[in-house]
Amino acid sequence: MTNKADQPADPDQLRQLCGLQFLVALFALAQIGTSFKLWLPQSVFPQVPLISGFVWPNTVAWILMGLMVLGLLGQLMDSLRGDPSKRFSLLFLLAAGSLLLEDQHRWQPWMIQYIWISLLILIGPPRRTLTLVIILTTSLYVYSAISKANLMFLEQHGQVILSGLFRSLSLELNRFPETIQRVMIATFPMGECFIAVGLLIPRTRRLAACLAMLMHGLLILTFSSRGLNHEWSVMLWNSFFLLQAFWLWCLPKQVVLKKNETSKSSQRRFDYALICVGLFLWSFPLLRLTGHLDQWLGWSLYSPRAVVVRVLLAKPPTQISEDFPPFTSDPYRWIEGDAGPLVFVSDRWSISQLHVPLNPEPRLEVAVAWALCEKYNCWSDLSVVVEQRNLMSPTDRQAEQFTAQAELEELRQRFLLPTQPNHRFFENNGQNQ
């Protein structure tokens, strides 16, 4: 399955690549399993397609789901046999890509990373793939750190993460002065930068891998039931990072491809291809800064958002419709006292139904609000507030409020990608709520 120009492949590199593909397949299966409703033709939460109005027939959607799982199982079996699987990587990519077309909510960051790695395995020989994985991983850490380099993370989001970590360790955060707490929060993005730089330098790669293992181990504690009690998919993704660092850069020695294994012309072609793909992996998240890329796709992870959308209800949902989602008071939060308005927390709704957080993009929140109004005819009882935030000045905020169908339609037109859910959610009669 390896490129002829790269034979004979180094046994250690093959072993590393097989282990990486095994981890990708194993954790992708586990995370799809913990959020299986998200990947099925479900009707309990709005599905917003990448192409307006697009939806797979239910039979086709089930077949694509089966092919995606089959591709992952094939990667799992081939990697155990010591042969990195390109055919099953291609099958996984085609099936997963087809399912992503149907629902933007499926663009979970862990799925995007597994797609990237499977694509890199498909591109070429082990040496090039392993180098590109380093480039991909370091870009993830760098852009994640950049997204946290602001006062809002220091004062708000970072505070939540730090409190969750201390809670998981049964420690009292309040015992530390505020200055010390801020220093500890600042170590989050700084640690990501140190890990990224360390991975790029062969001599410090093992040390960086050990630091990455420590960081993700602490994050697992932070998001566990002892800390912030997040969904299993979050812990599984951090576990993948931990084991990837151990397997690729901590456990084995770094093996350099021998000069006599490829001709100079073949080696030159490989290096040109590696440089092109590497530059793309590094520059792709820059589109996030221009507003043309989602926060998760730009590796802005666990970081604050410059634009926040809130869905407000003028009266309790029980007075709007008996089927209005859902459940108990957990998905709602009163503001301005018990008189209202009431904030509908879409993220909690997503977690309760699909066991994954909602993609933190304004258009997805707007799509949820539109779906609720269209299904439950609550145009006069629901409004959307779009809040622009200055990340370097948390108190500097500007808000616009949109009410009634005409105003919400005007808001939807601001987004390049569709905000109209497909027909499945509207066909649901409430029995699945």
240 lies in the same domain as 181: yes
143 lies in the same domain as 204: yes
406 lies in the same domain as 320: yes
- Assign 145 a pLDDT band (cuts: 50, 70, 90): very high
83-106 mean pLDDT: 94
* Residue 366 placed within a domain: yes
Quick one: pLDDT at residue 218? 96
pLDDT of 27 strictly over 90: yes
pLDDT of 343 strictly over 80: yes
Q: Which of 262, 290, 318 is the last residue of a domain?
A: 290
pLDDT of 334 strictly over 50: no
Report the share of the chain in percent with pLDDT over 90: 60
**317-321, 337-341, 357-361, 367-371, range with the lowest pLDDT:** 337-341
245 lies in the same domain as 379: no
* Residue 319 placed within a domain: yes
Q: Which residue has the higher pLDDT, 248 or 9?
A: 248
120 lies in the same domain as 240: yes
* Residue 251 placed within a domain: yes
pLDDT of 433 strictly over 80: no
* Number of domains forming the structure of the chain: 2
pTM above 0.85, yes or no: yes
Q: Buried b / exposed e across 218-253, counting CB within 10 Å, b at 16+?
A: bbbbbbbeebbebbbbbbbbbbbbbbbbbbbbbeee
Contact 231, 183 (CB under 8 A): no
pLDDT of 136 strictly over 60: yes
**60-64, 203-207, 264-268, range with the lowest pLDDT:** 264-268
pLDDT of 119 strictly over 90: yes
Quick one: pLDDT at residue 117? 95
Q: What tokens does 124 get?
A: 């070429």
Quick one: pLDDT at residue 272? 75
**157-171, 285-299, 313-327, 394-408, range with the lowest pLDDT:** 313-327
324 lies in the same domain as 350: yes
Quick one: pLDDT at residue 338? 52
Quick one: pLDDT at residue 378? 87
Report the share of the chain in percent with pLDDT over 70: 88
- Assign 431 a pLDDT band (cuts: 50, 70, 90): very low
pLDDT of 4 strictly over 50: no
Quick one: pLDDT at residue 256? 37
* Residue 214 placed within a domain: yes
Q: Which of 239, 260, 290 is the last residue of a domain?
A: 290
132-146 mean pLDDT: 95
Quick one: pLDDT at residue 352? 86
Domain that includes residue 249, residue range: 4-35+108-290
- Assign 340 a pLDDT band (cuts: 50, 70, 90): low
- Assign 29 a pLDDT band (cuts: 50, 70, 90): very high
